[in-house]
Amino acid sequence: MAESYSERCPHGDLLIDQPLASQTSWRVGGKADRLFRPRDLEGLLAFLRELPESEPLFWMGLGSNLLIRDEGIRGTVINTRGRLNVLKMQDPDRVYAEAGVLCPHLARFCSDRGLAGAEFFAGIPGTVGGALAMNAGAFGGETWALVDQVLTVNRSGFCQIRNRDQFTVGYRHVEGPANEFFLAALLHLRCGDGTESRARIKAFLARRLETQPLNLPSCGSVFRNPPHDYAARLIEASGLKGYRIGGACVSEKHANFIVNQNHARAADIEALIEFVRAEVERKQGIRLVPEVRIVGESEE
């Protein structure tokens, strides 16, 4: 198989046949035909304007809620990891955060400025762009509860400022104008006490360390919690803690985590996800809905 190589691009880094496993928190997945890392927001817009309309396009950030299949992704992958990371005060109680900003960084930024309400972001191992796309949440907080406006872009490189009421938002689900991608958000917070906010963040992180298998590659929670119940409880009640397929294993520490315990392939993880869904439905009568996004080409 051909090795990856770079191609000259004035708008950022463009890599050809680039392995993606290192770009995801599960540490699995095949190659991207092309991986583009924008220099900055202007570089991203310029790149999109030059991209042929026929080119398949996929966006990713930290890769923490993503399973990329072993045969990889055809077309171009835009990766904002480490890019689009502008984070600044817009008003005394509003924060502007670009899509590549790490959620834990956002939590600390707000607490350091005496703003309350963003502490839960410390428990989200992803970026602001990903959090916007799925209404990510932790410790009782959800992303879109704070959103005033968002900046989006279509694949032609045209930007649009949109208000919160232009989106339908639910639990781990967001619907808005078709074929637009999140570039940034304007978040409305309340004035608080920085010391109290930092203490809450510290408590959240301690709880996360105590209850989640952070020592092994995972995507975080695999399934959404069904109404009035918890996916982890249903999986554990079905006797699936420790169940494995290949190198993928249902965590003994938190049943809603699937960990890469022994050089798993993406196919192992996907097969385990489907097995868990089927067993929970058979034993508990509830069909779990995956929170993780599964993309890419599968083996024939």
- By DSSP bridging, strand 293-295 and strand 12-19 are unpaired
Asked whether the beta carbons of 280 and 256 are under 8 A apart, the reply is no
Residue in the block written with tokens 């995507």: 219
- Cβ contacts of 131 within 8 Å, gap of 6 or more: 103, 121, 124, 143
Reply yes or no on whether 291 is catalytic: yes
Dihedral pair phi/psi, residue 264, rounded to 5°? -65, 155
111, 218, 221, 238: the catalytic one is 221
For 77-131, give the DSSP string: EEE-TTSS--EEEEETTEEEEETTSBHHHHHHHHHHTTEES-GGGGG--SBHHHH
98, 119, 270, 291: the catalytic one is 291
172, 200, 265, 277: the catalytic one is 172
DSSP element (H, E) containing 53: none
Give the 3-state DSSP-derived string for 131-191, with helices as H, strands as E and coil as C.
HHHHCCEECCEEHHHCEEEEEEEECCCCEEEEEHHHCEEECCEEECCCCEEEEEEEEECEE
Integer Cα distance of 50 and 48 in angstroms: 5
Reply yes or no on whether 83 is catalytic: no
- Cβ contacts of 177 within 8 Å, gap of 6 or more: 152, 160, 162, 166
β-partners of residue 249 are 244, 259
Reply yes or no on whether 6 is catalytic: no
Q: How far is CA 294 from CA 5, 68, 169, 217, in A?
A: 26, 6, 21, 16
**Which residues are annotated as catalytic?**
172, 221, 291
